Amino acid sequence: MSLQEQFDQAAANVRNLKSLPSDADLLELYALFKQATVGDADPANRPGMFDLKGKAKFDAWSKKNGTSKEDAQKAYIAKVESLIASIGLQ
């Protein structure tokens, strides 16, 4: 299975976890997914000061700037696998 296929499967699996991961895990998943699919975050697109959730997500993503698509995909797959091991799938 190619890296892209493994990434796509991990993205599908994350929707079928038995329970919702912690906020920190969700931010990590979001950041890795965005880095793998979009690339580096553009500081000009940072949400405004009243969008606390949007800012937290953007800041988590921007910490991944410089990470290659492949490395972000590998880290995302590993994160999903660790969540499946601890939470399980439906």
| Domain hosting residue 8, numbered range | 3-87
Q: Are 7 and 76 in contact (CB under 8 A)?
A: yes
pTM of the full structure:
0.94
pLDDT tens per residue across span 39-76:
999 999 999 989 999 999 999 999 999 999 999 999 99
CATH assignment of the domain containing 22: 1.20.80.10
Q: How far apart are CA 43 and CA 19, in angstroms?
A: 32
Helix (H, G, I), strand (E, B) or coil at 17: strand
Number of structural domains the chain divides into:
1
